[in-house]
Structure 1
Amino acid sequence: MAHEKNDGLNNDVAVSPSQQNETVFPSRLKRKLKMVPPSLGKLRPTVGQCCMKCTPGSLHGKLGQKSIPSFHNLLSIDNTHARYQGWLVRRISCLLFVSGCKVSSRPSGNRLERIGQSNRVKEVVAVERQAPEGRGVRELTNRLSPYLPLINTSIVPSLVRFVGWLMLKVFASVFDNIQVDLNQLAPLQRASQEGSLLLYVHVRQSLVDCALVPLVLFCHKLAVPYAVCPLQCSSYSLRAILQRVGVLLLPPSLQTEEDAERDSLFSPVMTSLVDELLHEGQPISVGLSAETGRGGQWLAHIAQLLKRGSVTDVTLVPVGISYDRVLDTRTQVGLGVIFQCLWSLIWRKRVGSVRVHFAQPFSLKEMCEGGRWSADEWLPLQDLLLPIILGDRTKSASGQRRMSWLLPSSHRTPDLRELTHLERDLSVAVIRHLAFSLSSCAALMSTSLMSTLLLHRHRKGVKASLLCQDLAWLTTEVLFRNKDVGFQGSLAEIAHHSLSLLAPHLIIAAAPSRKDPFIMARVSPAASVHLSRYAQIVTHTFILEAVGACAVSAMLCEVVSSGVSARVRGGVPDEEEVKGDLEFDVVLCQSELTDRALQLCLLLPPGFQPPCQSSQSFAMDAVDRLVHCGILVIEETPRDVPTCDFWKREGLLTWTTGEDSGHSDSDCEEQEACSYKISQPSQCPEMLFFLCSMLAGHLRALCWTTAALDLLHVPLPEAEFVARIHSHLCDTANKKKQHYESCTKESARTAVRTLIDLGVISEHPQEGGAVSLHVAPRFQLPENRQKLTHFISQYVYN
């Protein structure tokens, strides 16, 4: 564990690493913790089912999965996996296992000729070169020469086996285990036997993801997919090896994925290459960024191929990958970097476990043609929220926020110019649906739960015994929400394992005189960002409760700031004035609370809400969740007459004849709006504040970004604009010496994008695909910026 002698908690404590386990969890504490085991039964939740609304045919079809998981450790390879027995077999069991895995040879053939003859590639080359007809073939070949290694990417069985054996050895020295549910692989085997075109989609976390998905499929006798990897490899020999095991790299002339989007030929070549791979029946693996949607352009291209009839159907397979600790990797590597990383990994302590979940496959054709991918009309965010912010409207409009920026803009990627408005919305809906599915099927690791508790519930520190009890409680809550966890064992072992992995970012104070060690997160940018990164998946799990809690907090803040009685009905305060301390007896109107939740959910980043659910329904579910978890209770309205007499008086129980067509027993009047009260008002509801804190980082970054608009007076390129916002967020956090999780680069980009959608920041395309940003004239006025800050800050829990 990490301990400090001058941390302000215990000035005379210094513990050696060999004493860590007994120091944090002494024997007397372990005996106590055995009485509070987490609720981990043999039957785990069934995760990864496809959407019941968008793809009901896939949900109830023959691609269904079993409900009882059977986990297999990918790294546990012994002589039972080989066909022979003996001492030597036990020593080379991994090599024998890999040699027995079947891999079909898939050469590129005349793929270059077919891609060169595609219309999309010929049109781009004709526009760029303006070559005469006699020199067209030669000019086309010269123009495609930088993409020749990319086009000729193939799969060589002997090289795949060698790389697979090497990766198993490397991962065995890095991870404790890699768990895979065998029952989730059965639908993939059936789909592969039926000749379905499989597209595996995973969330981008590190470059390890690109290796894990093909490795798992290879070890379980499934076809190795071609992996789209946005990696720039500087070594020619390493690039040649990767391109012989099916890795689609960036061309040597393009350094980043942003450069690839601006290149006029990269997108047509990649689209034609994906088309050729699908026609060959090859599976493909793609990484998707849930925050920016990067990688989703290939989903849009595949949807276009489906519409044109180039392919009959594509089966999408979301893959949820969960780490105890995510390995930080680079986007540009060479042989020297590879050897340096391998050397450090071999001599470094293992970084915990990995859980890989293959969600239920579903049909992209069914999703696109069904028309059920959207429940509301997609409107610009400024049309939905700006009138409310500026006081021109009091109620939220019906609709969902349009996030067209999840796809590269047409001036950056010319190949997407042919998409109509509806087709672009459809592609964005597929990206959003996959981002939500990926977060839903991923298992929650112990480090994520521990990070959530230390960052959002016990930011000022907590005793070890209480932290373990909260870990057991949070594990139970996660399982109740049909989310799987990637750990098992006694509570003390789970807590010690997670704390040991998070140790560099924690302060642990322990002394012989104390029965319980004291644990808290370090107040530093690195610690806050690290813990926030792992806690994000828990926020996805509790998003409904978090949105509802922030809506309740906003209404309570309004009540407190109004200076009138705390008892409110229908949003109208009584005339009684407050004298002395505020009496915590608040009645919240259902319609007002739902409207606050609706406004907040429109500010959420993608991945938190499925596009096939209406925003109104999402907001109502958020309020209902608070009732289910006991934060809100429905207020009982006293009546002068019993309920049965009321129903009889209204005539709802009157018998009618069948000839009376003007009246039906099922007819009912509009349901009365109910009210809610906060349970246990005498005690400050800790659960409410815990849920509010989950969204505080994102909302606080929005507030700080709004305050930074005063410093930006001239139009700036997008990259420089975001960099200045990020610098302001870091300066604000350093000045406050807290809330460092709100000053990441991802927070700055997300905040700027939200303000662009709100119409606060205007964007103007420039030459070469660049974009310049500046503050809109309406929000150059201080009073409008103040209204915007007030609207966002009402949801921020302090």
Structure 2
Amino acid sequence: MVQEKNDEINKDLGLLPIQQNRPALSWELKIKKKVRTVPPCLGKFRPAVGQCCHQCTPDSLRKKLGQNSFLGFHNLLSVDETQTRYRGWLVRRVCCALFVSGCKVYGSPVNNRLERVCQSNRLKEVLAADHKAPEGEDGQGQLSCLPPFLPLINTCISSGLLRFMCWAMLKMFASVFGSVQVNLSHLSALHKASQASSPLVYVYVRQSAMDCALIPLVLFCHNLRIPYTVCPLRISSSFLRSVLQAVGVILLPSSAVTELEAEMDPLYSPLMTSLLRELLHEDQALSVGVSAESGQGGQWLARIRQLIKEGSVPDISLVPVGISYDCVTKTNIKVDLRSALQWLWSLLWKKPNGSVRIHLAQPFSLKEMCESGRCRVDEWLPLQDLLLPVILNYRAKSVFGKRRMSWLLPSYVSEQSHPERDLSVAVILHLIFSATSCAAVMSTSLVSSLLLYRHRKGVRASTLCRDVAWLTEELLFRNRDVGFGGSLVEVVHYSLFLLAPHLIIAAAPSRSDPLIVPRPSPAATLHLSLQAQTVTHTFISEAVGACAVSAMLCEVVFSGVSSKVRTDGVEGEEVKGDMEFDVVLCQAELTERALQLCHLLPPGVMPPCQSSQSFALDAVDSLVRCGILIMEEMARDVPICDFWKREGTLTWATSDDPYHSDSDCEDQDLRSYKISQPSQCPEMLFFLCSMLAGHLRALCWTTAALDLIGTSLAEAEFVSQIHSYLRDTANQKKQHYESCSEEAAHTAVRTLIDLGVLLEERQTGGIFLGVSPLFQLSENRQKLHRFISQYLYN
């Protein structure tokens, strides 16, 4: 596929080696005349990612200061004789088995864990409350109540089976991926933390079932303790369950289909809390995946926090893990032996495609984060208190505060009080953001974002290469690492090869510069949108600011104040040349629009330690740094740079001055902005606006779908109907398929619940959703639709 010209250099630098063969590039010569190489910052000077939060955990951050920030990368699949104690012809053929046999394994026998779990006061109280066991009965007598959970309690780590499984995974991943690169920068800190008294808990954002296997494999290959892995998949085969439970995989109960169903069992939560306590007492490591859409997985972190608050566990060290795929592989929720064997058989005939980049972040203390008071949740407010009066025109401005997302930790999976639950949710949001921030941006993510958000109607390969070089520089400037290396042409060619099923690549015989167009199909658009999420996360501040600017410009256009606001997308008279924006934007109003948009964002995209007001100000300032906005200062007597006088620091008066007033320090800042005029500004503005268009459009369509829902429905059925409406709307428009995914439907429904548009009713059959009386009025639904749609630039 791609012929790597700098294998030795890239190996030294830890860059992505691309080993597949490829035909000659017909458009390579023409592109090299315009853009010769990738930016020089793809050398040894790479961004330092994965550092602890300087606000919440400064003591943990201080332990890392002064160490080397970049130690290179290690490809797990590149196993040779140098990694063994032996040399020779035979060793080179069995070097993988020798390497696995030489790795250190920390065994984990069960011993009397079942008895210790049954002696838990938490479990005894639940059994007594449910009248499942007589009061005062010992732990052995309670075993009759726990048969479905006994295999979960007896989960262990068998040294021999673990070595075999790791050898099999190395062979399996070699058939799936071209390479599995691990950032070595924080491994020394992990080794030191593993020798301390605090157990390690690895937290990652769920993308694929391979996440559960990659993290233990990475730790095994670097002689770190293998964690007990929480697996959210339903494994129906008893043989597979036995094998996985013997290598430390904590599965769902065999009777439960989903995590939600398992958590509804009154015995499951206290039993898992007691199991976690015993595992942490044994100094075992844990691996937990968290879902950014539903919050599933966060209940395990809440249980650990509860144990620390009770004093059962002194402290733990949290390690965010960022995992990046060239191509994310979706896995079925139900896994049986037949489907597993069929998948393994298909690997024998499949060539490895794509790569994986894994970043293990710096460990930090959970106790320091929660008990120091630095992680604050006192400004959290319900979303309907923040935005509903603004939407319904009851109030001009939104109040200060941050959106409360308590649904990330439902009440039936937590024993904590309301303030403690909010703090647990803050920890979950912090880890989602940290794990996503330290993940590398892959080349397919760059190309997908450019094709989906900037060149939806198609782009020439040479132009795409220039944009990839520009976007790479912007990512590195924002301290975001990238998961590729090599010459620019080969990086783009490699990405196009992986994305080929979702693209249309056409070239005339007389031209050597092909045209690349995204396929206008739901599957292709959803795949590109999924790949582009890491780029959106990096530019979230700029995207919020751009949408706020777009909202104000649309208001000016509709009001008819200025005739000089023109775009190429305006119907009617054709506009040629550069876009003209002869509009002055007030800083206060622009910040207010950005602040209101912040409250509509999905969880995990905003920095959790930053207030919404500060983020909104940064969003506006980021557009100034990008060159989209130019600051203007209105003429005034007192210079705006006179900070001391403006803040009242130098305000004093003599006693004989009867006319003294402090009104001089109460003047409002008269800052304003104008749109810059360079030719690339409009394109950049729309590129940033497009990053949030899918989420905002899904909210608009969901609001429109409320007209078709008359009665209350079960939550699953309600989300299913919304998802069907989103699909039908996208198919009818034949575009905007990124707004019709199942995740988009879940996120939109949850936002409308927080806004008070939908009401939750707990009934015997579960949770039912219905439209609130306030929004049964079409007038209010139209106001909500107008409020959301103002941020859609098109």
TM over 0.5: yes
Distance change (3 Å), C-alpha of 1:597 and 1:653: closer
Q: Name the CA distance, whole Å, in 2 between partners of 1:311 and 1:130.
A: 28
Render the CA deviation track for 1:152-172: whole Å, top value 9, x for unaligned. Answer: 011111111110111011111
Residue number in structure 1 paired with 2:301: 299
Distance change (3 Å), C-alpha of 1:693 and 1:21: farther
Question: Post-superposition shift, 1:231?
Answer: 2.1
Q: How high is the TM-score relative to the length of structure 2?
A: 0.91
Q: Name the CA distance, whole Å, in 2 between partners of 1:686 and 1:204.
A: 33
Question: Post-superposition shift, 1:50?
Answer: 1.2
Q: Name the CA distance, whole Å, in 1 between partners of 2:538 and 2:278.
A: 38
Q: For 2:152, give the aligned amino acid.
A: L
- Aligned partner of 1:721 among 711, 718, 722: 718
Residue number in structure 2 paired with 1:572: none
Q: For 1:712, give the aligned amino acid.
A: I
1:326 equivalent to 2:328? Answer yes
The number of residue pairs the alignment matches comes to 759
Distance change (3 Å), C-alpha of 1:670 and 1:177: farther
Residue number in structure 2 paired with 1:476: 473
1:168 equivalent to 2:170? Answer yes
- Aligned partner of 2:210 among 208, 211, 214: 208
Kept after mapping to 2: 8 A contact 1:156/1:245:
yes
Distance change (3 Å), C-alpha of 1:546 and 1:293: same
Comparing 345-354 with 156-165, greater Cα deviation is found at 345-354
Render the CA deviation track for 1:447-473: whole Å, top value 9, x for unaligned. Answer: 000000000000000000000100010
**Matches for 1:94-105 after TM superposition, within 5 Å:** 94-105=96-107
1:549 equivalent to 2:564? Answer no
Question: Post-superposition shift, 1:66?
Answer: 2.7
Identical amino acids, percent of aligned pairs: 68
Kept after mapping to 1: 8 A contact 2:38/2:487:
no
1:709 equivalent to 2:709? Answer no
Kept after mapping to 1: 8 A contact 2:128/2:135:
no
Question: Post-superposition shift, 1:510?
Answer: 1.3
Render the CA deviation track for 1:134-187: whole Å, top value 9, x for unaligned. Answer: 877676212211111110011111111110111011111111111112221100
- Aligned partner of 1:618 among 602, 615, 618: 615
Q: For 1:436, give the aligned amino acid.
A: F
3-state SS in 2 of match to 1:685: helix
Render the CA deviation track for 1:342-386: whole Å, top value 9, x for unaligned. Answer: 122232232211111011111100111111212651110000000
Comparing 603-612 with 533-542, greater Cα deviation is found at 603-612
Q: Name the CA distance, whole Å, in 2 between partners of 1:745 and 1:521.
A: 21
3-state SS in 1 of match to 2:186: helix
Residue number in structure 2 paired with 1:87: 89
1:272 equivalent to 2:267? Answer no
- Aligned partner of 1:676 among 648, 673, 678: 673
Distance change (3 Å), C-alpha of 1:797 and 1:282: same
Distance change (3 Å), C-alpha of 1:250 and 1:640: closer
Q: For 1:736, give the aligned amino acid.
A: K
Kept after mapping to 2: 8 A contact 1:506/1:521:
yes
1:529 equivalent to 2:526? Answer yes
Residue number in structure 2 paired with 1:790: 786
**Matches for 1:393-404 after TM superposition, within 5 Å:** 393-404=395-406
Residue number in structure 2 paired with 1:247: 249
Residue number in structure 1 paired with 2:10: none
**Matches for 1:479-518 after TM superposition, within 5 Å:** 479-518=476-515
- Aligned partner of 2:753 among 752, 756, 764: 756
The alignment's C-alpha RMSD in Å is 2.8
Question: Post-superposition shift, 1:390?
Answer: 0.2
Residue number in structure 2 paired with 1:353: 355
Question: Post-superposition shift, 1:643?
Answer: 9.3
Question: Post-superposition shift, 1:29?
Answer: 3.5
Q: For 1:319, give the aligned amino acid.
A: V
Kept after mapping to 2: 8 A contact 1:320/1:442:
yes
3-state SS in 2 of match to 1:199: strand
Q: Name the CA distance, whole Å, in 1 between partners of 2:79 and 2:680.
A: 54
1:437 equivalent to 2:403? Answer no
Question: Post-superposition shift, 1:682?
Answer: 7.2
Residue number in structure 1 paired with 2:7: none
1:226 equivalent to 2:217? Answer no
Q: How high is the TM-score relative to the length of structure 1?
A: 0.91
Residue number in structure 2 paired with 1:45: 47
Question: Post-superposition shift, 1:112?
Answer: 0.9
**Matches for 1:772-791 after TM superposition, within 5 Å:** 772-791=768-787
Comparing 236-245 with 622-631, greater Cα deviation is found at 236-245
Kept after mapping to 2: 8 A contact 1:379/1:401:
yes
Kept after mapping to 2: 8 A contact 1:108/1:153:
yes
Distance change (3 Å), C-alpha of 1:636 and 1:644: closer
Distance change (3 Å), C-alpha of 1:83 and 1:505: same
Question: Post-superposition shift, 1:564?
Answer: 2.1
**Matches for 1:51-450 after TM superposition, within 5 Å:** 51-61=53-63, 66-133=68-135, 140-374=142-376, 377-410=379-412, 413=413, 416=414, 418-450=415-447
Distance change (3 Å), C-alpha of 1:645 and 1:699: closer
3-state SS in 1 of match to 2:532: helix
Q: For 2:525, give the aligned amino acid.
A: S
Distance change (3 Å), C-alpha of 1:261 and 1:644: closer
Residue number in structure 2 paired with 1:737: 734
Question: Post-superposition shift, 1:681?
Answer: 7.0
Distance change (3 Å), C-alpha of 1:403 and 1:349: same
Render the CA deviation track for 1:680-718: whole Å, top value 9, x for unaligned. Answer: 077761100000000000000000000000001101000
Question: Post-superposition shift, 1:397?
Answer: 0.2
Distance change (3 Å), C-alpha of 1:62 and 1:646: closer
Q: Name the CA distance, whole Å, in 1 between partners of 2:380 and 2:285.
A: 32
3-state SS in 2 of match to 1:466: helix
1:592 equivalent to 2:556? Answer no
Kept after mapping to 2: 8 A contact 1:376/1:400:
no
Q: Name the CA distance, whole Å, in 1 between partners of 2:419 and 2:530.
A: 34
Kept after mapping to 2: 8 A contact 1:98/1:164:
yes
3-state SS in 2 of match to 1:520: strand
Q: For 2:793, give the aligned amino acid.
A: Y
Question: Post-superposition shift, 1:335?
Answer: 2.0
Comparing 191-200 with 591-600, greater Cα deviation is found at 191-200
Residue number in structure 2 paired with 1:12: none
Q: Name the CA distance, whole Å, in 2 between partners of 1:611 and 1:723.
A: 30
Q: Name the CA distance, whole Å, in 2 between partners of 1:644 and 1:504.
A: 55
